[in-house]
Structure 1
Amino acid sequence: MSLVKSSFKSSERMIIVCLLAPVLILFLFGYIVPLVNLIIKSFMNDSGWTIQQYVELASSKAFIWVAFKTVTLAAVVTVICLLVAYPLAYSISRSPRWLAILLLFLVTLPYLTSILIRSYAWIVLLSPNGVINRALMSWGITSEPIRMVFNATGVYIGMVQVQLPLMVFPLYAAIVKINRGLTRAAQSLGSPPSDAFLRVTLPLSMPGIMSGCTLVFLSCLGFYVTPALLGGVDDYLIAQSISTRVLVLGDFKAAAAQSTLLLAAVVVMFIIWRRRLAEELDEQSREMLSEKRGCDAIGLSLRSSLVERLATSLQVPYIRLHAIFSPVRLVVLALLSIFTVTLLVLPFVVVIPLAFSNASYLTFPPPSYSMRWFNSFFRNSDWIEALGFSLRMAGIASIISICVGLPAAFALVRNRFSGRLSIYLLLISPLIVPHVIMAVALFFTLSGTAMIGSSTAFGVAYATIGIPYTLVVFVAGLKRFDRNLERAAASLGAQYRTILRTVTLPLLLPTLVSAGLFSFIAGFDDVVFGLFLSGPGATPLPMRMWDNIRLEISPQIAVIAVLFLATLLVLGAIRQLVLFMHARPRVGPAELTRPV
């Protein structure tokens, strides 16, 4: 008996190894080895091991100031995103189904759209003769244009707009799970609606607040594109510092040291919040969080909140204040939600008409309309070659991500083994680790080889940043999968391969499409890897866009924005078609076994 159990466990371990081996091998050579090489390089000089680079950074007032500005930017953007996103997330959770779907689509659209396109749109919106300045002057708020771009103001506005979806999604996921009967119970006991929100809804949504703040803060620490395009000379952050030392100064050792310090900061925070980031996979942590939320909801928390203590000491004015605010709360909530949605979609309102402008320069609104910029795009071989390269590489990387991500998700969701949570955190860590660090590490590893400026380098890079998206989507899909369908097929004598082909994969088809879409966009929209890995025969479309925005700022980018949005609509239509076909009634086991 023990021999049988031992043989079964050995077979199970072999299956887990086979499922995880492809993704771990890819991560080993495309992610782990480059990062280790980067860290080693930061401790090396011509004479051997040294900490000289770190000593110089610690004594450099310029680097300390850059690091301080980076952390300050990340913290301020996180707070602003929380304040702006919470009303919208709350409104979505309380909206009718059709309106909630529409609002979630409007939140998702910017997340799926190129950061370069959105940054380009903000240059148009915030320029001295842009829409916002003209509106402020026409309303009499200002008498002359306000400088809002190529400075800190532009960076903060652009960063908040880019990071908002990362805050809205966790908040919505947390708020929608809250039992609305709890707030009604509080109101039935005499608590005004706004007071019930502070006492019940806000504390119970704290997991979403913490998750959203963690994602936004970590993402901001190493963000490169928006600060580089919308900021000025004084808005120099650590990601730009690393890039400048590699691409301009050729100071590789200092760049390695700065990258290692930024990586260490991100890894520390990643470890601290690992339970929150792996909540979808880690049932134990989710149960502990649910129990804590349940205790708080029924008043069993041992510590009273700050709101509770203030309410007790200032009971009368506190209740009067809520009585004044409660009647207008819905109006305030609606106005704040409209403001957030406007902030999310405003770049698209501007950039689409620009694609059809007849002007030879950037101006909004366009003086007249034509297809001249579309004709210019399709006649330019450089743009077409870059577009073809990006489509090819992003498509290949998406296929690789699905092929190695799906087996890994099966291994992680359907098996319990030592190190399971650690492997999951490793595989989703590229979502958190700044791409500038990964790109510099890959550049150092491949420098001096023929892979720099090759399709292979981009394939590995795009697959590495696409796998976390596919893994997260697959894990969520497998957690929701009803395994009774597989058991029913097995009870009818079907082999495992037959079950996988005829039951499991067809039911997971919508998940496969979603995973492929997200991983494709992750590679197609990337700029940072293009800065370090591009070559004469390997120049992705984002690099052409990057050069155009920095050197020319023509309506050509608006054409790409329209094509990008059209592609998204086509892919979205395909996904909806798959969902529709997937929802059609199927002949089940009962019908197959029913006598004729």
Structure 2
Amino acid sequence: MVDASLAMPHRRDTSGWARLVPILLLLPIVILFSVGYVVPLAQLVLKSLQHDGAWSLNSYIEIANSPAFLWIVLRTIALAATVTIVCLLIAYPLAYAISKCSPRAASLLLLIVTLPYLTSVLIRTYAWIVLLSPNGPINQLFLRLGLISEPLQMVFNSVGVYVGMVQVQLPLMVFPLYAVLARVDPSLAKAAQSLGSPPTDAFLRVTLPASIPGVISGCTLVFLSSLGFYITPELLGGPDSYLIAQGISLRVLILGNFDEAAAQSSILMFAVIAVFLIFRQRIAEELDDRPHNNISLVGKSTSGLSARWPILVRLTAVLHGPSTRLHEALTVARRPALYVSAGLTLLFLVLPFVVVIPLAFSDAPYLTFPPPAYSLRWFSSLLKNTQWLDALSFSLRWAGLSALLSVAIGVPAAFALVRYRFSARVPVYLLLISPLIVPHVVIAVSLFFALAGSSLIGNPLAFALSYTIIGAPYTVVVMIAGLKRFNRTLELAAASLGSSPLVTLRTVTLPLLLPTLASAALFAFIVGFDDVVFGLFLSGPTATPLPMRMWDNIRLEISPQIAVIAVLFLIVLALLMLLRLFVGAVVQGRRPQESLHR
């Protein structure tokens, strides 16, 4: 329900009804998050403060006295920091190159970056097992080039973890960097060059400072996401890659040490939330209603550069003046280097698909690449396997239902956050997007403890709840972005002609937002369909999602059937994306006609 404030954004009305509308819009998602997210996390913290049924700090004392846990923490932080730095170094040239492309080319390149993000982490991890194996294509290429004399061990150790983690997290760095770089007016750098500044110096003095907000956002997202990442380290790593998330899972699923698992989960959660709150202003920037001004953006960045980023000041000082020759050399090489770097990064993102697709059509009875011959034997095998088909049906049904629920509660919440001003606006937004930041293993453990002893463990309803909790934040973020870009001229015209708020919403606003709604539903569906972590804690004999079947297959067998699932997944994803583009084209075509009629 949306009232007449649709016709006037952020209208300050002191009437009780105007104050009540955002509450009603937020009520469904707040109730769900309170019951299925906040309360279980609070119970998790309380459980960590108990030992043998009595209040105690014993679990935290044992953790503090454990050198092994300290090393695991340091290893986790080192992994997250290294992955963040590597992602920044290889994502920045790609984001910068995309920002310099035409709108059509930029859309295509962003689609390539988005495709891996939308594809199952399990599928990509499976592909890296093939790529990095001793007999895999990367080792074979190195051997043929004479770079190595014997195959390198690059999988089931820290090397595989770093490669897989960087590939998984890279889109999280590209998107915020591109969003900021695309807003930087290129005429500013040209003006600096016209005043005698070499292109590289102009970049360091204008573009780089202006992109700092994107750097901070990207680094925060990647670092926090890496802290609690579970799937890739578990499948690609070895004993030297043991991280906090794996330790928590081991204590719950194998050892039954629930008190210590709750304590470790609480420590991880509080660490993530602390970083999340430190950068809350940058994370909540999407709610900023002020127009972005490129000149002021650069001015603020450069004026605050000395105080906040002295290292950049020293860098520009070193490369300016005495380093004229270096600037000239960089000017000549910068464009080829940029294109080569961006191209290699795109290849790195899509490389798993180059391997997975041929494997699906392999005629070999075991996993080998390249396939010795091609056939449809693995497609036939999959279609005859009732366990795989039942798991696929389960995931489609419950991920689809959760996507609908996510849209149903996320869309009203987005309207409330964008169209209304209220004191708790930013805290509510941070709460609703926090499942994107809090490690899924922590949320899954909290739900496991909350539902333990009830009939919901192994029940499809538990999956519907968990999928909605992790899918709704995507709906909120996507809808907020769509509403911020939404041109309200037609809404104002409908209101001026006497159309009621509900009629305007039904006939004008929602039809024009159909592409955004489709994107929100797609993201919510995929995040549920791809989930493994909740499946580890909530699955039962009659409730086994497809990712759990894939998980067991990769860990125990590593057969080409996973490649078949990957091909089918890509086909469905392509159809959904084409449908989304078709809806967008139809809506775009209707806009001029509606404008003429009105």
TM bracket (short chain): over 0.9
Q: Is residue 2:219 matched to residue 1:219?
A: no
Q: Determine which of 352, 363, 372 is the counterpart of 1:367.
A: 372
Residue 529 (structure 1) shift: 0.2
Q: Determine which of 76, 93, 101 is the counterpart of 1:87.
A: 93
SS at match of 1:322: helix
Deviating more after overlay: 369-378 vs 486-495: 486-495
Q: Is residue 2:489 matched to residue 1:484?
A: yes
Question: In the alignment, is the contact (CA less than 8 A) between 1:126 and 1:132 conserved in 2?
Answer: yes
Aligned to 2:343: 338
Aligned to 2:401: 396
Aligned to 2:116: 110
Aligned to 2:8: none
Q: Counterpart of 2:20 in structure 1: which amino acid?
A: M
Deviating more after overlay: 317-326 vs 157-166: 317-326
Q: Deviation per CA, 1:208-233, whole angstroms, max 9, x where unpaired?
A: 11100000000000000000000012
Q: Determine which of 241, 246, 260 is the counterpart of 1:240.
A: 246
Q: Determine which of 436, 444, 457 is the counterpart of 2:441.
A: 436
Aligned to 2:451: 446
Whole-angstrom CA distance in 1 between matches of 2:288 and 2:104: 32
Residue 65 (structure 1) shift: 0.5
Q: Counterpart of 1:72 in structure 2: which amino acid?
A: A
Aligned to 1:63: 69
Q: Determine which of 264, 268, 274 is the counterpart of 1:262.
A: 268
Q: Counterpart of 1:216 in structure 2: which amino acid?
A: V
In the TM superposition, 1:415-564 aligns within 5 A as 415-564=420-569
Aligned to 1:580: 585
Residue 184 (structure 1) shift: 1.0
Q: Determine which of 41, 44, 50 is the counterpart of 1:44.
A: 50
5+ unaligned residues in a row in structure 2: which ranges?
1-10
Question: In the alignment, is the contact (CA less than 8 A) between 2:201 and 2:316 conserved in 1?
Answer: no
Q: Counterpart of 1:36 in structure 2: which amino acid?
A: A
Aligned to 2:389: 384
Whole-angstrom CA distance in 2 between matches of 1:390 and 1:36: 29
Q: Is residue 2:568 matched to residue 1:570?
A: no
Whole-angstrom CA distance in 1 between matches of 2:182 and 2:297: 17
SS at match of 1:560: helix
Q: Is residue 2:336 matched to residue 1:351?
A: no
SS at match of 1:234: helix
Question: In the alignment, is the contact (CA less than 8 A) between 2:305 and 2:313 conserved in 1?
Answer: no
Aligned to 1:188: 194
Residue 137 (structure 1) shift: 0.5
Q: Deviation per CA, 1:571-596, whole angstroms, max 9, x where unpaired?
A: 01111110111112458677557xxx
Structure 1 vs Structure 2 CA RMSD: 2.0
In the TM superposition, 1:5-24 aligns within 5 A as 9-24=15-30
Q: Determine which of 229, 234, 245 is the counterpart of 1:228.
A: 234
Q: 1:420 to 1:98 in 2, by over 3 A?
A: closer
Q: Counterpart of 1:234 in structure 2: which amino acid?
A: D
SS at match of 2:25: helix
Q: 1:326 to 1:375 in 2, by over 3 A?
A: same
Question: In the alignment, is the contact (CA less than 8 A) between 2:319 and 2:326 conserved in 1?
Answer: no
Whole-angstrom CA distance in 2 between matches of 1:15 and 1:449: 36
Q: 1:94 to 1:289 in 2, by over 3 A?
A: closer
Q: Determine which of 297, 309, 324 is the counterpart of 1:319.
A: 324
5+ unaligned residues in a row in structure 1: which ranges?
none
Residue 293 (structure 1) shift: 3.4
Deviating more after overlay: 246-255 vs 13-22: 13-22
Whole-angstrom CA distance in 2 between matches of 1:172 and 1:272: 23
Question: In the alignment, is the contact (CA less than 8 A) between 1:489 and 1:589 conserved in 2?
Answer: no
In the TM superposition, 1:278-317 aligns within 5 A as 278-283=284-289, 291=296, 293-296=298-301, 303=307, 305-309=310-314, 312=317, 315-317=320-322
SS at match of 1:278: helix
Q: Deviation per CA, 1:134-187, whole angstroms, max 9, x where unpaired?
A: 000110000100000000000000000000000011111111111111111121
Whole-angstrom CA distance in 1 between matches of 2:447 and 2:193: 57
Q: 1:589 to 1:43 in 2, by over 3 A?
A: same
Q: Counterpart of 1:339 in structure 2: which amino acid?
A: L
Question: In the alignment, is the contact (CA less than 8 A) between 1:282 and 1:421 conserved in 2?
Answer: no
Count residues with an aligned counterpart: 587
Residue 112 (structure 1) shift: 0.3
Residue 484 (structure 1) shift: 2.8
Q: 1:437 to 1:479 in 2, by over 3 A?
A: same
TM-score, normalising length: structure 2? 0.95
Aligned to 2:210: 204
Whole-angstrom CA distance in 2 between matches of 1:394 and 1:314: 53
TM-score, normalising length: structure 1? 0.95
SS at match of 2:401: helix
Whole-angstrom CA distance in 1 between matches of 2:464 and 2:320: 62
Q: 1:452 to 1:97 in 2, by over 3 A?
A: same
Q: Is residue 2:158 matched to residue 1:142?
A: no
Q: 1:256 to 1:323 in 2, by over 3 A?
A: same
Matched residues, percent identical? 59
Residue 517 (structure 1) shift: 0.3
Aligned to 2:256: 250
